[in-house]
Amino acid sequence: MRVATLDRDKCQPKKCQKECYRFCPIVRSKVEAIKFENTYPIIVESLCVGCGICIKKCPFKAIKIVNVPDELEKECTHRFGPNAFKLFRLPVPSPGIVLGLVGKNGIGKTTALKILAGEIKLNLGRYENPPDWPEIIKFFRGSTLQDHFQKISQKKIKVAHKPQYVDKIPKVVSGKVGELLEKIDERGKLKEIAEKLELKPFWNRKLDVLSGGELQRVAIAATIIREADIYLFDEPSSYLDVKQRLEAAKAIRTLKEEEKTIVITEHDLAVLDYLSDQICIFYGTPGVYGIVSHTHGVREGINIYLDGYIADENIRFRKEPIVFHVKPPTQSWAGGAALLKWGYMEKTYGNFQLIIEEGEVKNGEVIGVLGPNGIGKTTFVKLLAGLEKPEKGEPPEYELTVSYKPQYISVEYEGTVKELLRSIAKKDFGSSWYKTEILHPLNIDVLLDRNVKELSGGELQRVAIAACLSKKADLYLLDEPSAYLDIEERLAMTKTIRRRIEETSAAAFVVEHDIIAQDFIADRLMIFTGIPGKHGKANPPTNLRDGMNQFLKEMQITFRRDPTTKRPRVNKEGSRLDRYQKEIGEYYYVSD
């Protein structure tokens, strides 16, 4: 069986002169495997031989044809249309269980949530002749989804759904935070949830002036306080710092006490592990098709995802497993000279004051920057970049070239991704090194002919990282590079930054809330302490273990290492290991 898709955002029929049609061998033999409707090609899957010639000939990489097992066709749950994404199977949630969904971007997780919410009526792959509800219910007979869709068809099930993109909420809802939440407090839990999620500081502010992290917490609270049978959370940790992520996870887990059905999608593995009881893995080809695995226990499910092999289905969906190291390998910077030194500085914004202790960064070193939101991390990066000046102390004096990726990416560039990167990388752009070390790991190849202004959040983030690393610099500053990226993209991003720094003997500062990403990328850590929005202190860089202990002690969170994959895992608060590690002062993990 073949799955053929056409990305209409990439397809430009006026420019390509229908090359996909001209080079199809079935077309040449008088059988039309490729047709055109409104100038866009349509691949007739029943006729297509899957030779891949049209894929290679398409100059915009708009066509994908993938072979999948024939038996899966019987398990197709939804397809959006001809040449559109195809989803096989669905996750099966249960009352009193938090079901986590893990997989790449564009693999069907959000689609599955919308189907479970009843926002999309599944068509079992028959987009031209969609089935009615009795046929859909019959399709799922023998599983808990039969009863779920029976209730949806009769409108007897109530769903509370937190959307993925919380930044769009102010466009459809207006008003003050407190007033809006009080109107929808159907469970009488608002006071408790508002305290857990620290909503009081912006209780009387309007939605349209809130930051991304504040909007995320409001959206989570609004979902939890509604009375519903099933609760769906799409990427609840975006924009939140480490402590806020775990507090949000605790608030979501309170729904278990009432035997509610809870489903989440999440890219932060530590949060996914902490929040979930069971895991469903989504695998396939992004934008083409997605397959939902059977349900696994949370530890087993995440380990299977990292390994890339599902034993009970005998499926390998990744060539190589993702491997963690208990102790970071010895780095070339250990005996290196200092690249940059900075002295004591102070910076004030209104009522907020940031104090920066003196420190240094060495050649070939990556400094991870950790701390709560609103504590001054971005301000420190801007001081290093020369974009801000301190009120007290002298800014770093150096003759270094700096490359800076900001936290919030504004799109002003007119042109394609290829034109942007070529203008930055110059003669390196066409080299095999650039393709191997920048374009391929960050999966930029498929975006080169796209206009920068048309990119999604995750695509724009990858291009911004590539643009930052394309510049020849002594110092690289990256502010929250994992935002909008899925798990595999985050780990690819960390490896790409590491290799760039090691190869050039440059240095980097990476502001990042994802503990696992920091565990992968950082040689040393800078910990920011204080009270968010009031005062912050940037402590000197310290080694990974001491830095993590200092940061996690401030957060009152402990981590352990998974014995199989060695990945960091959050201990449940008050557990035996949590109490023991706090007692001995080892918050990061217990050393062997």
Q: Is the pLDDT of residue 333 over 50?
A: no
- Which tokens in the block code for residue 84? 């559109």
Q: Is the pLDDT of residue 592 over 60?
A: no
Establish if 110 belongs to a structural domain: yes
62 shares its domain with 78: no
Once rounded to an integer, what is the mean pLDDT over residues 164-181? 89
Q: Is the pLDDT of residue 334 over 70?
A: no
498 shares its domain with 452: yes
257 shares its domain with 207: yes
262 shares its domain with 171: yes
Q: Is the pLDDT of residue 434 over 90?
A: yes
Domain count, the chain: 4
Closest by CA to 51, choosing from 96, 7, 85, 4, is: 4
pLDDT range class, residue 111, cuts 50, 70, 90: very high
Establish if 321 belongs to a structural domain: no
Establish if 328 belongs to a structural domain: no
Establish if 232 belongs to a structural domain: yes
421 shares its domain with 275: no
pLDDT at residue 332, as a whole number = 45
SS3 43: strand
Closest by CA to 115, choosing from 270, 271, 290, 236, is: 290
Residue whose token pair is 């226990």? 297
Residues 250-264 as b/e (b if ≥16 CB within 10 A, e otherwise) read ebbeebeeeebbbbb
Q: Half-sphere exposure (CA, 13 Å, Cβ side) for 152?
A: 22
Q: Is there a contact between 225 and 187 (Cβ–Cβ < 8 Å)?
A: yes
Q: Is the pLDDT of residue 436 over 70?
A: yes
154 shares its domain with 201: yes
pLDDT tens readout for residues 474-524: 999 998 898 888 888 998 899 999 999 988 889 999 999 888 888 888 999
Establish if 79 belongs to a structural domain: yes
Establish if 408 belongs to a structural domain: yes
pLDDT at residue 9, as a whole number = 73
DSSP single-letter state for residue 474: S
pLDDT at residue 564, as a whole number = 85
Q: Half-sphere exposure (CA, 13 Å, Cβ side) for 557?
A: 20
Once rounded to an integer, what is the mean pLDDT over residues 170-179? 91
pLDDT tens readout for residues 345-380: 999 988 889 999 999 999 899 999 998 888 899 889
- Of all helices (H) and strands (E), which one includes residue 270? helix 269-275
In this structure, what are the phi and psi dihedrals at residue 519, rounded to the nearest 5 degrees? -60, -35
Q: Is the pLDDT of residue 323 over 80?
A: no
Q: Is the pLDDT of residue 181 over 90?
A: yes
SS3 315: strand
Question: What is the gyration radius of the CA atoms in the chain, in angstroms?
Answer: 25
Can you name the residues that pair with 347 across neighbouring β-strands?
354
Once rounded to an integer, what is the mean pLDDT over residues 581-588? 91
350 shares its domain with 304: no
Domain containing 282 — which CATH number? 3.40.50.300
End position of a domain, from candidates 15, 50, 67: 67
Q: Is there a contact between 323 and 330 (Cβ–Cβ < 8 Å)?
A: no
Q: Is the pLDDT of residue 94 over 80?
A: yes
Residue whose token pair is 């002298």? 394
Q: Domain range spanning residue 26?
A: 2-67
Once rounded to an integer, what is the mean pLDDT over residues 388-404? 84
> Residues of the chain with pLDDT > 90: what percent?
48
32 shares its domain with 91: no
283 shares its domain with 374: no
- Which tokens in the block code for residue 524? 């040393």
CA distances from 297 to 99, 221, 569 (A): 9, 27, 15
128 shares its domain with 183: yes
End position of a domain, from candidates 36, 52, 67: 67
528 shares its domain with 589: no
pLDDT at residue 291, as a whole number = 94
Q: Is the pLDDT of residue 105 over 80?
A: yes
Establish if 38 belongs to a structural domain: yes
Rounded to 5°, angle at Cα 312 from 311 and 316: 40
Once rounded to an integer, what is the mean pLDDT over residues 322-347? 70
pLDDT range class, residue 325, cuts 50, 70, 90: low
d(CA 116, CA 17): 42
Establish if 10 belongs to a structural domain: yes
Q: Is the pLDDT of residue 195 over 70?
A: yes
pLDDT at residue 455, as a whole number = 86
pLDDT range class, residue 262, cuts 50, 70, 90: very high
Domain containing 21 — which CATH number? 3.30.70.20
pLDDT range class, residue 84, cuts 50, 70, 90: confident
Q: Is there a contact between 101 and 280 (Cβ–Cβ < 8 Å)?
A: yes
310 shares its domain with 440: no
pLDDT at residue 69, as a whole number = 63
d(CA 483, CA 485): 6
Greatest alpha-carbon pair distance for the chain in Å reads 78
Paired sense of beta strands 524-531 and 542-543, if any = antiparallel
pLDDT at residue 91, as a whole number = 95
End position of a domain, from candidates 316, 349, 364: 316
d(CA 399, CA 406): 21
Average pLDDT of every residue of the chain: 87
d(CA 335, CA 329): 14
pLDDT at residue 496, as a whole number = 94
Once rounded to an integer, what is the mean pLDDT over residues 382-394? 85
